[in-house]
Amino acid sequence: MSSEARLPLLSPEQARQTASQAGVPAALAELNVFRVLLHHPRLARWLSELLLGLLGQGELDPRLRELMIMRVGWVTRSDYEWSQHWRIAQRVGLSERDLLGVRDWERHDAFGPAERSVLALVDEVIGTGAVTDLTWAACREHVAGDPRILLELLAVVGLWQMVSAHLRSLGVPLDDGLGSWPPDGVGPAEPPG
């Protein structure tokens, strides 16, 4: 993992101009992640379309989606992802208690079968590269039997895991005004070795 930025942030003006030419929404050009990704305008556009599609037009319940993204941020140790989605998750109705519960979701008593199913899915996909039959069956029972939603579950984990890898590998700094690991500044411990 990089502790320093490996690619410079484009200036806000450069990012806005490049985003406009690439078809990336102007609001995304303000984010540090896109100020790095816009070094490759087509890649930035492809990622923006998938990110915005899953965030704004997906079939998956936004609350479950944000719990999954927060878990991805925690498991992958992505301060940027956790900090950025902290606000988004609260906007879709998640409480601070439930967001902190993502850290140790198996012991968090407020999560029901749907939350537990999608959080298990996140851990399995990140940990082994695939979801088990037991967890898949639980997602079908407690989240949805709709194939579109089931596909989105996997897309959310895969996409945000990839974004987290970009963020950490490139050392993308937090955007101005974001605090590290809200609300308490405590991030996951680095594994030994």
Query: What is the per-residue pLDDT across 52-85, written as a single tens digit (0 to 9) for each?
Result: 999 999 999 999 999 999 999 999 999 999 999 9
How far apart CA 81 and CA 97 sit, in angstroms, is 18
The amino acid sitting at 87 is: R
| pTM confidence score | 0.95
**pLDDT, position 154:** 98
How far apart CA 68 and CA 2 sit, in angstroms, is 24
Q: How sure is the predictor about 190, in pLDDT bands with cuts at 50, 70 and 90?
A: confident
Whether residue 3 is predicted with pLDDT greater than 70 in this model: the reply is no
Determine contact, residues 95/189, Cβ cutoff 8 Å: no
* Per-residue tokens: 55: 């965030």
Mean local confidence (pLDDT), 145-149: 95
Q: Which of 1-5, 32-36, 75-79 has the lowest mean pLDDT?
A: 1-5
Burial of 68 (0-12, 13-18, 19+ CB in 10 A): buried
Mean local confidence (pLDDT), 11-39: 97
The sign one gets for the Cα dihedral 101, 103, 108, 111 is: positive
Q: How far apart are the first and last CA of the chain?
A: 13
